[in-house]
């Protein structure tokens, strides 16, 4: 397992596809007192990902791979990660499924945040399915990435109550607030 040694921080890459609120949250966390991680790289499959703006704001390198040819792009990403001595990957709203080859060839842990109480509601449209099924609770999960979708070992979870008049938007907003607490907590649990 990766540990930060002395003043050496854990060099982290964050993978995004969209808004990047979890990315921003992780950047802020990395700048907090006694933080053990430093975010060195932002990787996206989407040129239009809003979260890419944080690269400029916080002067963090960014690189976009379209995943037109996933095998080739993953190879390029692995090279880039190695070149930048990255030893932790945090997926944060990254919409591509990384291959088994990529996961086994990266030399450190890969974490993901998923907006449900895994193992329930893997995959997409979690909030809609939760509401349709009249669940009393949903939540979010930080887990290790394995070659099976949303199935790696769970690090931490947070429950969120589903309210009577909830819709996808309301529920996802309340869960996102908890995601922003959970990801840093999970990193602390693993690396501090
Ligand atoms: C989050 O709900 C995350 O759990 C899911 O995608 C969303 C990304 O949001 N995987 P953001 O781009 O971090 O704002």
Chain segment 23-57, per-residue pLDDT in tens:
999 999 999 998 999 999 999 999 999 999 999 99
10: CA distance to ligand 1 center in Å?
Answer: 22
- Residues of the chain with pLDDT > 70, as a percent, come to 96
Query: Going edge to edge, which strands form the sheet with 10-16?
Result: 61-64, 37-44, 10-16, 88-91, 110-114, 137-144, 154-161
Max intra-chain CA distance, the chain = 50
Active site residues: 114
Provide the sign of the torsion angle of the four alpha carbons 29, 34, 37, 42, taken in this order.
positive
Report whether the peptide linkage leading into residue 119 is cis, meaning its omega lies within 30 degrees of zero: yes
Question: Does residue 142 have its Cβ closer than 6 Å to ligand 1?
Answer: no
| Alpha carbon distance 151, 147 (integer Å) | 8
Structure tokens at 4: 């930060």
Structure tokens at 76: 């390029």
Question: Does residue 19 have its Cβ closer than 6 Å to ligand 1?
Answer: yes
Q: Name the residue with the closest Cα to ligand 1, atom 10.
A: 93
Q: Name the residue with the closest Cα to ligand 1, atom 3.
A: 93
141: CA distance to ligand 1 center in Å?
Answer: 11
108: CA distance to ligand 1 center in Å?
Answer: 22
pLDDT band at 3 (very low <50, low <70, confident <90, very high): low
63: CA distance to ligand 1 center in Å?
Answer: 19
pLDDT band at 147 (very low <50, low <70, confident <90, very high): confident
Mean pLDDT of the chain: 96
Structure tokens at 93: 């709203």
Query: In a mutational test of the pocket of ligand 1, which residue from 14, 17, 22 has the highest number of ligand atoms less than 8 Å from its CB?
Result: 22
Question: Does residue 139 have its Cβ closer than 6 Å to ligand 1?
Answer: no
Note if the pTM is more than 0.85.
yes
């Amino acid at each position: 397992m990766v540990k930060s040694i002395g003043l050496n921080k854990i060099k982290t890459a964050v993978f995004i596809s969209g808004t990047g609120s979890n990315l921003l949250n992780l950047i802020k966390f990395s700048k907090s007192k006694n933080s053990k991680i430093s975010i060195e790289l932002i990787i996206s499959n989407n040129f239009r990902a809003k979260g890419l703006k944080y690269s400029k704001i916080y002067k963090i390198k960014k690189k976009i791979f379209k995943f037109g040819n996933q095998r080739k792009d993953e190879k390029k990403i692995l090279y880039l990660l190695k070149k930048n001595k990255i030893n932790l990957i945090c997926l944060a709203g990254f919409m591509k499924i990384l291959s088994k080859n990529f996961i086994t060839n990266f030399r450190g842990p890969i974490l993901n945040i998923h907006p449900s109480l895994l193992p329930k509601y893997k995959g997409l449209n979690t909030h809609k399915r939760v509401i349709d099924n009249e669940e009393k609770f949903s939540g979010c999960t930080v887990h290790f990435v394995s070659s099976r979708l949303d199935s790696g070992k769970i690090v931490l979870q947070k429950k969120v109550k589903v309210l009577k008049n909830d819709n996808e938007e309301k529920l996802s907003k309340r869960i996102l607030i908890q995601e922003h607490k959970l990801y840093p907590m999970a990193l602390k649990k693993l690396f501090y």
